[in-house]
Amino acid sequence: MTSVLPSPSPLPAAALTLAPALPARTPAGLVGGTPLLWIGEPFTDPGRGFWAKLEGRNPGGIKDRTALHMVARARERGRLLPGAPIVESTSGTLGLGLALAGVTYGHPVTVVTDPGMEPMMAGLLRAYGAEVHVVRAAHPVGGWQQARRERVEEILAARPDAWCPDQYHNPDNVTAYRTLAHELIAQLGRIDALVVSVGTGGHSAGVASVLREHFPALRVVGVDTTGSTIFGQPAAPRLMRGLGSSIYPRNVGYSLFDEVHWVAASEAVWAARALARSRCATGGWSVGAVALVARHVAATLPAEARVAAVFPDGPQRYVGTVFDDDYCRRHRLLGGVPAPAPDRIAHPGERVVTRWTACETVVDPLAAGAPPAGPEATGPDAGEHGLAGAAR
């Protein structure tokens, strides 16, 4: 393969890194145009590496893109009237994006969450003017995710003008990420493999569909957490949030994936921490899981292959979890270095996986006859962070 990256600029590297971003007239103007960082040795094997798209450099995180887009489209279609309230169930990242969209377009924002939301996140949302409702009890069958949805329904019933973006099933949550794909193309020129986490399925479907149009041979690798139902495993207690789900979001672009990897929390913690120490650019559960898989993809493809990975947010909100030794010890997450390569199964139904495992058969569990919604995982962690991977 030949490189199509632009040839080196005559400017010294320091001058390039100081190139200022364009001035923004609105806070929404700060969204997008995120940087790309090379992740190489010592995190990766010698001579191998991947490009990380640092979505944590948006004001809130990756979901700023979708929040602004979903709100703009709903306004255009008359589904969201000027000044009407926005109500959504979220445990964080989308809430920050909606707060930004609320400020940008002039809508009050109510976020329904659960006790697993980090105090810092709840504080930030309130600071940005959002109303934060915390459900206090998990639904006996559907867990926290269901309890949150029911509270959203109650609020919507009381406010008929209110609008809920419904990030799991709203197709605008996919098209919102076309910009991210175009940025990657502009930054890298050619892309051979894309590694992306999957929660609602929005950014993986949005980015991969555009990239495939340009690079038909693109390898798309999805990253999920163990205990998530998205790719056909049974629901189980999960610590990791952001990626994974206990339902079957209709935004997941199953046909786009060549391969899915399930990663366990301890493996994501190892990778997030190793990244922090070696590259100073890291994030939380999803970044750790994506980095672990991207490192492996880069090691297995030819050295010239250009691998892009999406890092959805930064590390700040994870200082009390992923980066906290007491928390990690309590949850037995400091168990050592993950295996150099994933276990492999031929089909998601072959067995229940509890550590890093890959599968090249990617099927939509609903099309394969799964029940319409899995009960949310509950377990020893459910009262704290075992909130079963509500997308953020």
Residue among 200 and 229 whose Cβ is closer to ligand PLP? 200
DSSP secondary structure string for all residues of 61-83: -THHHHHHHHHHHHHHTTSS-TT
- Residue 176 C-beta: closest distance to ligand PLP, Å: 9
**Closest to 133 (Cα-Cα) out of 141, 142, 66, 144:** 144
Evaluated on CA atoms 142, 146, 147, 153, the torsion sign reads negative
Question: What letter represents residue 153's amino acid?
Answer: E
Residue among 48 and 63 whose Cβ is closer to ligand PLP? 63
- Residue 168 C-beta: closest distance to ligand PLP, Å: 8
Question: What letter represents residue 242's amino acid?
Answer: G
Please check whether residue 370 is in contact with residue 354, taking contact to mean a CB–CB distance below 8 angstroms.
no
Residue among 71 and 84 whose Cβ is closer to ligand PLP? 71
Residue among 48 and 50 whose Cβ is closer to ligand PLP? 50
**Closest to 246 (Cα-Cα) out of 152, 138, 350:** 138
- Residue 198 C-beta: closest distance to ligand PLP, Å: 5
Give the whole-angstrom CA distance, residue 280 versus residue 257.
30
Note the helical H segments in the chain: 13-17, 63-76, 93-105, 119-127, 143-158, 172-175, 178-188, 202-214, 265-279, 285-300, 325-330
Residue among 193 and 272 whose Cβ is closer to ligand PLP? 272
Residue among 242 and 342 whose Cβ is closer to ligand PLP? 242
Residue among 192 and 313 whose Cβ is closer to ligand PLP? 313
Contact residues for ligand PLP (CB under 6 A)?
Answer: 93, 197-204, 242-243, 286, 312-313, 391-392
246 torsion bin: left (phi>0), alpha (psi -120 to 50), beta (else): alpha
For the chain, the 3-state helix, strand and coil shares in percent, each to the nearest 5, are: 35, 15, 50
- Residue 64 C-beta: closest distance to ligand PLP, Å: 11
- Residue 193 C-beta: closest distance to ligand PLP, Å: 18
- Residue 304 C-beta: closest distance to ligand PLP, Å: 29
Give the whole-angstrom CA distance, residue 13 versus residue 168.
42
- Residue 226 C-beta: closest distance to ligand PLP, Å: 15
